[in-house]
Chains A and B, each alone.
Chain A
Amino acid sequence: MRSFTYERVETPAAATAAFARTPGARFIAGGTNLLDLMKLEIETPAHLIDVSRLALDKIEATAEGGLRIGAMVRNTDLASDARVRKDYGLLSRALVAGASGQLRNKATTAGNLLQRTRCPYFYDTNQPCNKRKAGSGCAAIGGFNRLHAVVGASEACIATHPSDMAVAMRALDAAVETVDAAGKARSIRLADFYRAPGTTPHLETVLAPGELITAVTLPKPVGGTHIYHKVRDRASYAFALISVGAIVQPDGTGRIALGGVGYKPWRVEAAEADLPRGAKAVAAGLLAGAKTTHENAYKLPLVERTLAGVLAQAKG
Chain B
Amino acid sequence: MKFDTPATTNPIDQMKVVGKPTNRIDGPLKTTGTAPYAYERHDVAANQAYGYVVGAAIAKGRIASMTLDAAKAAPGVIAIVTADNAGTLGKGDFNTARLLGGPGIEHYHQAIALIVAETFEQARAAAALVRVEYAREKGAFDLAAAVDTAIKPKASFGTEPDSAVGNFAAAFAAAPVQVDARYTTPDHSHAMMEPHATIAAWEGDKLTVWTSNQMIAWSVGDMAKTLGIPKENIRFDSPYIGGGFGGKLFNRADVLLAALGARIAKRPVKVALSRPLMINNTTHRPATIQRVRLGATADGKLTAIGHESWSGDLPGGGPETAVAQTRLLYAGENRMTAMRLAVLDLPEGNAMRAPGEAPGLMALEIAVDELAEKLGMDPVAVRVLNDTQVDPEKPSRPFSQRQLNKCLETGAEKFGWAKRSAKPGTTRDGRWLVGMGVAAAFRNNLNGPSAARVRLARSGVVTVETDMTDIGTGTYTIVAQTAAEMMGVPLDKVVVKLGDSAFPVSAGSGGQWGANSSTAGVYAACVKLREAVAQKLGMNAADAVFADGQVKAGRRRAALGDAAADGELVAEDNMEYGDLADKYQQSTFGAHFAEVGVDAATGEIRIRRMLAVCAAGRILNPKAARSQVIGAMTMGAGAALMEELAVDKRFGFFVNHDLAGYEVPVHADIPHQEVIFLDEADPTTSPMKAKGVGELGICGVAAAVANAVYNATGVRVRNYPITLDKLLDKLPDMA
The interface of chain A, by Cβ under 8 A from chain B, is 1-3, 39-41, 118, 120-121, 123-124, 126-127, 139, 142-144, 146, 229, 231-239, 241, 278-280, 298, 301-302, 304-306, 308-309, 312-313
Please name the residue on chain B nearest to A241 by beta carbon: B724
| B658 A231 Cβ-Cβ under 8 A | no
| B128 A41 Cβ-Cβ under 8 A | yes
| A120 B606 Cβ-Cβ under 8 A | no
Q: What 8 A-B pairs are tightest by C-beta distance, nearest first?
A: A309-B601, A298-B725, A126-B57, A236-B668, A235-B668, A308-B734, A144-B646, A144-B655
List the A side residues contacting B125 at CB < 8 Å: 1-3
List the B side residues contacting A127 at CB < 8 Å: 651
> Which residues in chain B, 660-704, are within 8 Å of chain A measured between CB atoms?
660-661, 663, 665-669
Does B657 have its Cβ within 8 Å of any Cβ on chain A?
Answer: yes
Could you list 11 further interchain pairs (A-B, Cβ under 8 angstroms) beyond the known A40-B276, A143-B648, A235-B668?
A1-B125, A3-B75, A121-B655, A127-B651, A139-B651, A144-B655, A144-B656, A146-B646, A235-B606, A235-B669, A308-B735
In the complex the two chains form, what is the Cα distance from A298 to B663 in whole Å? 19
> Which residues in chain B, 119-136, are within 8 Å of chain A measured between CB atoms?
121, 124-125, 128
A/B interface sample: 7 pairs, CB < 8 A: A143-B650, A234-B666, A234-B668, A301-B729, A305-B731, A306-B602, A309-B601
| B648 A302 Cβ-Cβ under 8 A | no
In the complex the two chains form, what is the Cα distance from A234 to B603 in whole Å? 12
Shortest beta-carbon distance from B272 to chain A in Å: 13
Shortest beta-carbon distance from A194 to chain B in Å: 22
> Which residues in chain B, 592-625, are within 8 Å of chain A measured between CB atoms?
599-604, 606
A-contact bits for B628-657, CB 8 A (1 contact / 0 none): 000000000000011000111011000111
Shortest beta-carbon distance from B236 to chain A in Å: 30
Does B723 have its Cβ within 8 Å of any Cβ on chain A?
Answer: yes
Does B728 have its Cβ within 8 Å of any Cβ on chain A?
Answer: yes
Does B30 have its Cβ within 8 Å of any Cβ on chain A?
Answer: no
In the complex the two chains form, what is the Cα distance from A305 to B721 in whole Å? 21
List the A side residues contacting B41 at CB < 8 Å: none
Which one of B124, B601, B724 contacts A233 once the chains associate, using CB atoms below 8 Å? Answer: B724
| B651 A309 Cβ-Cβ under 8 A | no
List the A side residues contacting B600 at CB < 8 Å: 309
Please name the residue on chain A nearest to B647 by beta carbon: A144
Does B431 have its Cβ within 8 Å of any Cβ on chain A?
Answer: yes
| A236 B666 Cβ-Cβ under 8 A | yes
Please name the residue on chain A nearest to B108 by beta carbon: A126
| A123 B128 Cβ-Cβ under 8 A | no
List the B side residues contacting A118 at CB < 8 Å: 660-661
| A143 B655 Cβ-Cβ under 8 A | yes
Shortest beta-carbon distance from A275 to chain B in Å: 15
Please name the residue on chain B nearest to A162 by beta carbon: B660
> Which residues in chain B, 704-733, are within 8 Å of chain A measured between CB atoms?
721, 723-725, 728-729, 731
List the A side residues contacting B669 at CB < 8 Å: 234-236
List the B side residues contacting A143 at CB < 8 Å: 648, 650-651, 655
Shortest beta-carbon distance from A42 to chain B in Å: 11
Question: Given A120-B661, A231-B602, A238-B663, do A302 and B642 touch, yes or no (CB 8 Å)?
Answer: no
Shortest beta-carbon distance from B86 to chain A in Å: 22
Which one of A40, A41, A309 contacts B734 once the chains associate, using CB atoms below 8 Å? Answer: A309
Chain B interface residue count, CB cutoff 8 Å, equals: 44
List the B side residues contacting A121 at CB < 8 Å: 655
Shortest beta-carbon distance from B663 to chain A in Å: 5
Please name the residue on chain A nearest to B664 by beta carbon: A234
In the complex the two chains form, what is the Cα distance from A237 to B667 in whole Å? 10
Please name the residue on chain B nearest to A229 by beta carbon: B602
List the A side residues contacting B599 at CB < 8 Å: 309
In the complex the two chains form, what is the Cα distance from A139 to B604 in whole Å? 28
| B431 A309 Cβ-Cβ under 8 A | yes
Which one of A1, A238, A280, A305 contacts B601 once the chains associate, using CB atoms below 8 Å? Answer: A305
Question: Given A1-B124, A301-B728, do A123 and B601 touch, yes or no (CB 8 Å)?
Answer: no
List the B side residues contacting A126 at CB < 8 Å: 57-58
In the complex the two chains form, what is the Cα distance from A121 to B657 in whole Å? 10
| B729 A120 Cβ-Cβ under 8 A | no
List the A side residues contacting B725 at CB < 8 Å: 146, 298, 302
Shortest beta-carbon distance from B542 to chain A in Å: 59
List the A side residues contacting B655 at CB < 8 Å: 120-121, 124, 143-144
Please name the residue on chain A nearest to B665 by beta carbon: A234
Shortest beta-carbon distance from B442 to chain A in Å: 28
List the A side residues contacting B641 at CB < 8 Å: 233
| A306 B723 Cβ-Cβ under 8 A | no
In the complex the two chains form, what is the Cα distance from A44 to B276 in whole Å? 18
| B728 A239 Cβ-Cβ under 8 A | no
Shortest beta-carbon distance from A298 to chain B in Å: 4
Question: Given A139-B651, A231-B724, A298-B728, do A237 and B646 touch, yes or no (CB 8 Å)?
Answer: no
| A39 B124 Cβ-Cβ under 8 A | yes
In the complex the two chains form, what is the Cα distance from A135 to B60 in whole Å? 25
List the B side residues contacting A39 at CB < 8 Å: 124
| A233 B729 Cβ-Cβ under 8 A | no
Shortest beta-carbon distance from A148 to chain B in Å: 12
In the complex the two chains form, what is the Cα distance from A30 to B622 in whole Å? 44
In the complex the two chains form, what is the Cα distance from A138 to B258 in whole Å? 36
In the complex the two chains form, what is the Cα distance from A235 to B603 in whole Å? 12
Shortest beta-carbon distance from B62 to chain A in Å: 16
List the B side residues contacting A146 at CB < 8 Å: 646, 725
List the B side residues contacting A229 at CB < 8 Å: 602
List the B side residues contacting A304 at CB < 8 Å: 734
| B666 A233 Cβ-Cβ under 8 A | no
Please name the residue on chain B nearest to A39 by beta carbon: B124
| A305 B602 Cβ-Cβ under 8 A | yes
A-contact bits for B333-367, CB 8 A (1 contact / 0 none): 00000000000000000000000000000000000
| B728 A302 Cβ-Cβ under 8 A | yes
In the complex the two chains form, what is the Cα distance from A144 to B124 in whole Å? 28
In the complex the two chains form, what is the Cα distance from A229 to B735 in whole Å? 18
A-contact bits for B414-441, CB 8 A (1 contact / 0 none): 0000000000000000010000000000
In the complex the two chains form, what is the Cα distance from A306 to B600 in whole Å? 9
List the A side residues contacting B731 at CB < 8 Å: 305
Which one of A1, A237, A239 contacts B666 once the chains associate, using CB atoms below 8 Å? Answer: A237
In the complex the two chains form, what is the Cα distance from A252 to B735 in whole Å? 16
Which one of B58, B604, B658 contacts A123 once the chains associate, using CB atoms below 8 Å? Answer: B658
Shortest beta-carbon distance from A56 to chain B in Å: 29
Please name the residue on chain A nearest to B734 by beta carbon: A308
Shortest beta-carbon distance from A147 to chain B in Å: 9
Which one of B58, B601, B651 contacts A306 once the chains associate, using CB atoms below 8 Å? Answer: B601
| A305 B734 Cβ-Cβ under 8 A | yes
List the B side residues contacting A238 at CB < 8 Å: 663, 666
In the complex the two chains form, what is the Cα distance from A239 to B659 in whole Å? 12
Which one of B128, B604, B734 contacts A232 once the chains associate, using CB atoms below 8 Å? Answer: B604
| A233 B723 Cβ-Cβ under 8 A | yes
List the A side residues contacting B603 at CB < 8 Å: 302, 305
Please name the residue on chain A nearest to B134 by beta carbon: A126
Which one of B601, B642, B647, B658 contacts A234 once the chains associate, using CB atoms below 8 Å? Answer: B642
| A144 B665 Cβ-Cβ under 8 A | no
| A279 B734 Cβ-Cβ under 8 A | yes
| A124 B657 Cβ-Cβ under 8 A | yes
Most buried by B among A121, A238, A239, A280: A238
| B666 A278 Cβ-Cβ under 8 A | no
In the complex the two chains form, what is the Cα distance from A182 to B642 in whole Å? 50
| B665 A1 Cβ-Cβ under 8 A | no
Please name the residue on chain A nearest to B605 by beta carbon: A233
List the B side residues contacting A236 at CB < 8 Å: 666-669
| A1 B734 Cβ-Cβ under 8 A | no
Please name the residue on chain A nearest to B600 by beta carbon: A309
List the B side residues contacting A241 at CB < 8 Å: 724
| B276 A233 Cβ-Cβ under 8 A | no
List the B side residues contacting A144 at CB < 8 Å: 646-648, 655-656
In the complex the two chains form, what is the Cα distance from A112 to B606 in whole Å? 28
Which one of A3, A233, A302, A312 contacts B663 once the chains associate, using CB atoms below 8 Å? Answer: A233
In the complex the two chains form, what is the Cα distance from A86 to B723 in whole Å? 35
In the complex the two chains form, what is the Cα distance from A53 to B296 in whole Å? 72
List the A side residues contacting B650 at CB < 8 Å: 142-143
